[in-house]
Amino acid sequence: MRGIGTPGITKLVGHTPLLRVRIFEREFPKVEVYAKAEWFNPGGSVKDRAALAMIEDGERTGALTLEKTIVDSTSGNTGIAYALIGAAKGYPVKLVMPGNVSAERKALVTAFGAEIVYSDAGEGSDGAIRMVRELVEREPDRYFYPDQYSNPANPRAHYEGTAVEILEQTGGRITHFVAGLGTTGTFVGTSRRLKEHDASIKAIAVEPDDAFHGLEGLKHLPTAIVPRIWDASLADEVVGCPTEPAYELARALARSEGLLVGHSSGAALWGVRRLAERIHEGVVVTVFPDSGDRYLSTGLYGSTRR
């Protein structure tokens, strides 16, 4: 039984710290760089925000009841978020994942009691999307399918959370927002609110530069199933990030600033660097979606090169 005044773990989602990042300071002294440290969420990633918003939206509309199983496709972080929140709220969780996701992710999801169904690794996240759609079509009454690629509650979590926090934490000084594209929820929801607040704020989206990439969590939109929530009108620019330079920036960040981040944070930082080369002055905010300790088995930090 929960006592009065003892909030559950889901109350800790959001309100993440905004960190000053100094890695480019010498090169671009007039560009202030900040990053939302999303691994401070209880599930360890930015995806807690979207998962909680979609689950609570389902509860509000009656689409999610205690007889249903939460099912979705996920490259990992959303699955961990569903598994944690499902456990906290009492819902069974079933996750379709490409067979090649990292060992840490599989272990975490299993620890929270979720069931994993593997889709073809070669078909990536799109293969997982196709498989979950088949499962739901076969037994629609059994499942609550949040569908993070189409659910407006995903970007709304960032519209109402991430963006408002950024405006508060920068005192409204932000001039540029940079974020990677996965489901596109983070970029779309945050950029929409920031631009409503101040139309001069520029939003730069970062995607992998190729269909075959090593930036787990991110999507190459030209060759992927384009998420229904994607809104291209919000992007002042979409830049394609190569895999290896993103890895190198993630490694450099760990060594120079004590920040251990995941691949997609390296990609976001690559986008920030490219921008800094161009603007020379500004207050740039990005999002670091998760921590590097989730990728230790993938070799991201295996290199000893300096």
Ligand X SMILES: Cc1ncc(COP(=O)(O)O)c(C=O)c1O
Which residues have a catalytic role annotated? Answer: 47, 264
Residues that bind ligand X (CB under 6 A): 45-47, 75, 77-78, 180-187, 217-218, 262, 264, 289-290
Distance CA 304, CA 279 (A): 33
Least distance from ligand X to the Cβ atom of residue 267, Å: 8
Q: Which is nearer to ligand X, 46 or 284 (CB)?
A: 46
Q: Which is nearer to ligand X, 156 or 176 (CB)?
A: 156
Least distance from ligand X to the Cβ atom of residue 185, Å: 4
Q: Which is nearer to ligand X, 133 or 142 (CB)?
A: 133
Is-contact 74 148, C-beta < 8 A? yes
Nearest to 71 by CA among 86, 53, 57: 86
Residue 28 phi/psi, 5° resolution?
A: -130, 75
Least distance from ligand X to the Cβ atom of residue 58, Å: 18
Distance CA 194, CA 172 (A): 9
Q: Which is nearer to ligand X, 84 or 218 (CB)?
A: 218
Least distance from ligand X to the Cβ atom of residue 62, Å: 26
With b meaning 16 or more CB within 10 Å and e meaning fewer, what string describes 269-288?
Answer: bbbbbbbbeeeeebbbbbbb
Q: Side by side, which strands form the sheet with 18-21?
A: 18-21, 31-37, 282-288, 176-180, 202-208, 237-241
